[in-house]
Structure 1
Amino acid sequence: MEIKINTPTPVFSVKPVVLSAPGRGEDLQVRVSAPVIGRDLPIIIFSHGFGWSLDGYGPLVDFWAAQGFVVIQPTHLDSRTLNLPPDDPRTPLIWRFRVEDLKRILDQLDLIEASVPGLSGRLDRSRIAAAGHSFGGQTVGMLLGARVLDAHGEPGENMSDSRIKAGVLLATTGKGGADLSPFAAEHFPFMNPSFADMSTPTLVIAGDHDQSPLTTRGPDWFTDPYFLSPGSKSLLTLFGAEHSLGGISGYSVAETTDESPERVALIQQLTLAYLCNAFGIDDSSWVAACSALAKSDSPLGRIESK
């Protein structure tokens, strides 16, 4: 399946841009990737999966930047590059620090823009999306309106952010409670979300072979953010995809168990079409992409929307 996309623009990337983060124990380091030309550029803030860093997810970041987006990637405290010990007092709260990392980026866009040569005056702050994979999806979901339920089933703090206008959740965990494996219930009490207030328009992407040790359910667990949330949502279910969704976390990454350049290309094209539609850049791109996938002789997935 081929979806019409623009000719890629050359991209530059600057790292690390260092943001002061009192109370975090480490300054926040971010990477900024942007096209070398263009103005009024929409922004994607990307939250990495567990253990990764600002250096990951090149197949998505490079593509989005070449198509006219500025992509900002933080290194969260769980990154292997920081090597926090399990008994570090910050460890149980890493999920909160992650959300605060993304908010800190939003708060300091002026500093980020000024720190990157050639970026000044080119950002469109009215069009900001947040995207995340795995643990990063859980992080982004909080900005979109998801909340963590406490031990009594009551929703915790609302950490949503109205500056985020659209979301992309990739292989993002579903509801907690009895759906968690004993290991996950013991070690990850924050993995107990309510999607009832996650109303920001969002594209949810799940693999139908993503069998996680964190849940007693099957791959449908990763569709919960779509089915259990209100508002305008779309779900891309990828056939045969496991947790790496074909290899989005990097080029030739060893932990990719389901390597598929075709699947990665589909994610690139559909996320671009979704965001261009959400931001009013190209109102026809998403409809055309959905139609092309549905008419494909050997589709790699299916799309449903509500």
Structure 2
Amino acid sequence: MATMDLATNEPTPVVSVKPVTLSAPGRGEDLRVRVSAPVTGHELPVIVFSHGFGSSLDGYGPLVDFWAAHGFVVMQPTHLDSRTLGLPPDDPRTPRIWRSRVEDLKRILDHLDLLEAAVPGLHGRLDQSRIAAAGHSFGGQTAGNLLGLRVLDPETGEAADLSDSRIRAGVLFATAGQGGADLSAFAVENFPFLNPSFADMTTPTLVVAGDQDDSPLTVRGPDWMTDPYFLSPGSKSLLTLFGAEHSLGGIVGYEARETTDENPGRVALIQRLTWAYLRHALDIDGSDWLAAQKSLADDDSPQGRLESR
């Protein structure tokens, strides 16, 4: 596959520190964050990454390790829904976890200096003017809120603007589409916060979806995961991966049990394309993104399709 040969900068060793603890009054417990960074380089852009339902700061190594080795600093919180915390369903915080997740990402943005100082040798090397938000599955909706996505709060009936001007770009992996009649009965009963609007999601974003991601949360099928692209305004790109299910070939972790469609080649494609997109969207270097688009378009047996507007 041609895109596999897409050039990237040389990988560098990575240092990763966990947990860095941020005080979080009212959350029930402090926020734990993992920070991964290349050991060399300056003016390093930042990615805040939101994990999928039940995961933690220990997940998504295939993405995080690649991004950090190629010049990004990645911040990963453990949200309250993580299996590592064991929050019971009847906990009073459970109905508001979707909102708590967004607050976790904002808390990271508010304390970048503290997080930077927690990693030996990282002080003074961040570029806090170049920050992206990314997330997978439930984490895609979480990151999407910072990009302008709005959730109709099932308790208040309000769709608050939780966007953050510090975020300049986003990558949403396997992210839920619109709610209402598109939701399955299971989703309506168990996930009442799955009712996003993309009408105000104006921040430049790459949406990554699998054409075999047949979710039990919707009656529509895999195209539901493309809603963040088709229903949002502004500069957007969509990478549709052929044959990919919800784990998109294995981005959730190395040999993770939830990966139903293990495909190292697909993961390598995602690594390179997301890296190139973020360098473009954060105004670091647009040539990599142009090369990636051409490489995929020229491929005789592509693993996906890329479109932009």
Say whether the 8 Å CA contact 2:49–2:74 is kept in structure 1: yes
Q: Within 2, Cα distance between the matches of 1:25 and 1:236?
A: 38
Matched, 1:205 2:217: no
List 4+ stretches of structure 1 deviating above 2 A: 149-155
The equivalent of 2:34 in structure 1 is 31
Q: Within 2, Cα distance between the matches of 1:119 and 1:279?
A: 20
Say whether the 8 Å CA contact 1:74–1:101 is kept in structure 2: yes
The equivalent of 2:283 in structure 1 is 280
Q: Within 2, Cα distance between the matches of 1:167 and 1:207?
A: 18
Q: Within 1, Cα distance between the matches of 2:154 and 2:53?
A: 24
Q: Within 2, Cα distance between the matches of 1:20 and 1:149?
A: 28
Q: Within 2, Cα distance between the matches of 1:66 and 1:112?
A: 18
Q: Within 1, Cα distance between the matches of 2:285 and 2:63?
A: 19
Identity, in percent, stands at: 76
The equivalent of 2:96 in structure 1 is 93
Say whether the 8 Å CA contact 1:147–1:155 is kept in structure 2: no
The equivalent of 2:259 in structure 1 is 256
Deviation at 1:31, TM superposition (A): 0.3
The equivalent of 2:134 in structure 1 is 131
Q: Within 2, Cα distance between the matches of 1:13 and 1:112?
A: 12
The equivalent of 2:174 in structure 1 is 171
Q: Which ranges of structure 1 fall in alignment gaps of 5 or more residues?
A: none
Q: Deviations over 1:235-262 (max 9, x none)?
A: 0000000000000010111110000000
Between the two proteins, the alignment pairs up a number of residues equal to: 306
Q: Within 2, Cα distance between the matches of 1:204 and 1:294?
A: 17
Deviation at 1:150, TM superposition (A): 5.2
Q: Which has the higher contact order (CA 8 A, sep 6+)?
A: 2
Aligned counterparts, 1:1-306, within 5 A = 1=2, 2-149=5-152, 156-306=159-309
The code of the aligned residue for 1:175 comes to Q
Deviation at 1:151, TM superposition (A): 6.5
Q: Deviations over 1:140-190 (max 9, x none)?
A: 011100111357997611000000000000000000000000111122111
The code of the aligned residue for 1:73 comes to Q
Secondary structure at the aligned position of 1:43 is classed as strand
Q: Within 2, Cα distance between the matches of 1:58 and 1:68?
A: 15
Q: Within 2, Cα distance between the matches of 1:279 and 1:42?
A: 8
Say whether the 8 Å CA contact 2:51–2:139 is kept in structure 1: yes
Say whether the 8 Å CA contact 2:203–2:234 is kept in structure 1: yes
Say whether the 8 Å CA contact 1:155–1:194 is kept in structure 2: no
What's the TM-score once normalised by structure 2's chain length? 0.97
The code of the aligned residue for 2:269 comes to L
Secondary structure at the aligned position of 1:247 is classed as coil
Q: Within 1, Cα distance between the matches of 2:304 and 2:12?
A: 28
Q: Which sits farther off after the overlay, 31-40 or 275-284?
A: 275-284
Say whether the 8 Å CA contact 1:202–1:234 is kept in structure 2: yes
Deviation at 1:7, TM superposition (A): 1.2
The code of the aligned residue for 2:6 comes to I
Q: Within 1, Cα distance between the matches of 2:217 and 2:156?
A: 19
Q: Deviations over 1:50-101 (max 9, x none)?
A: 0000000000000000000000000000000000001000011100000000
Say whether the 8 Å CA contact 2:172–2:205 is kept in structure 1: yes
Say whether the 8 Å CA contact 2:150–2:160 is kept in structure 1: yes
What's the TM-score once normalised by structure 1's chain length? 0.98
Deviation at 1:297, TM superposition (A): 1.2
